[in-house]
Amino acid sequence: MISLAWPWVLATLPLPLLAYFLPAASPAGGAALRLPFYAELPGLAAAAAGRRSGWRIGTAVLACVLLVAAAARPEWVGAPVNLSVAGRDLMLAVDISGSMEQPDYEMDSRMVSRLAVVKAVAARFVERRTQDRLGLILFGSNAYVQTPLTFDGHTVAAMLRDSVVGLAGRETAIGDAIGLAVKRLREQPADNRVLILLTDGASNAGQL
């Protein structure tokens, strides 16, 4: 259904009528431009006004109504969506260091990089986690939370799909990635929090 966030704005609809009923301002004194055909101008103005006044007023009224309606912030409110909260909290920590660009895996009859294989496998895994909250950490020389815990698996898969080797540096800070995941998961129930670490090497960077 459509609702208005600020319905009180509709109270301003009658305001343009004030400009119509207010008395016109008196002309200011001063120099005037004298025209030899001045006597003919009232007739020309009346004829033009008769032709255009109708659609001009209609256009002005429509524009005013539309502007006020837009200012009232109409919103489309859909049906409520029930989200299951009975699943686990899963944090994916994916290695995007320099070694992950090695093309030593075969997929669909062609050689692809290690990161491409991880993306393909993790995407299928994310699609099946319909009742779990998922998060994504990308790490290289540093570790970053790319997606916090969320039920929106499509966003997690999209962020993983858009990741590239070297985005977080060329080295491998596995300890920092694990520490960051622990920090994000430590407030969750102990029996529902899971870290999935996807890497191809040993830790050679970071503080942990």
By C-alpha distance, which of 174, 181, 182 is closest to 200? 174
Task: Give the chain's domains with CATH numbers.
Answer: 2-20+34-76 (no CATH), 89-198 (3.40.50.410)
pLDDT at res. 203: 81
The strand pair at 89-95 and 193-198 is best described as: parallel
pLDDT at res. 80: 78
pLDDT at res. 47: 55
Per-residue pLDDT of the chain (208 residues; tens, 9 = 90+): 778 888 888 888 888 777 767 776 666 655 666 666 555 556 655 655 555 566 777 787 888 888 888 888 888 887 777 765 667 888 999 888 888 888 888 888 888 888 888 888 888 888 888 888 899 999 888 888 988 888 888 888 888 888 888 777 788 888 888 998 898 888 887 788 889 898 887 888 878 8
pLDDT at res. 115: 85
Q: How far is it, in rounded angstroms, from Cα 65 to Cα 74? A: 13
Give phi and psi for 99, each to the nearest 5: -70, -20
The strand pair at 133-139 and 143-150 is best described as: antiparallel
pLDDT at res. 40: 57
**What predicted TM-score, i.e. pTM, was given to this entire model?**
0.57
Q: What contacts 175, CB < 8 A, 6 or more positions away?
A: 203, 206, 207, 208
pLDDT at res. 7: 85
Q: How far is it, in rounded angstroms, from Cα 91 to Cα 126? A: 11
Q: How many CB atoms lie within 10 A of CB 172?
A: 26
pLDDT at res. 39: 59
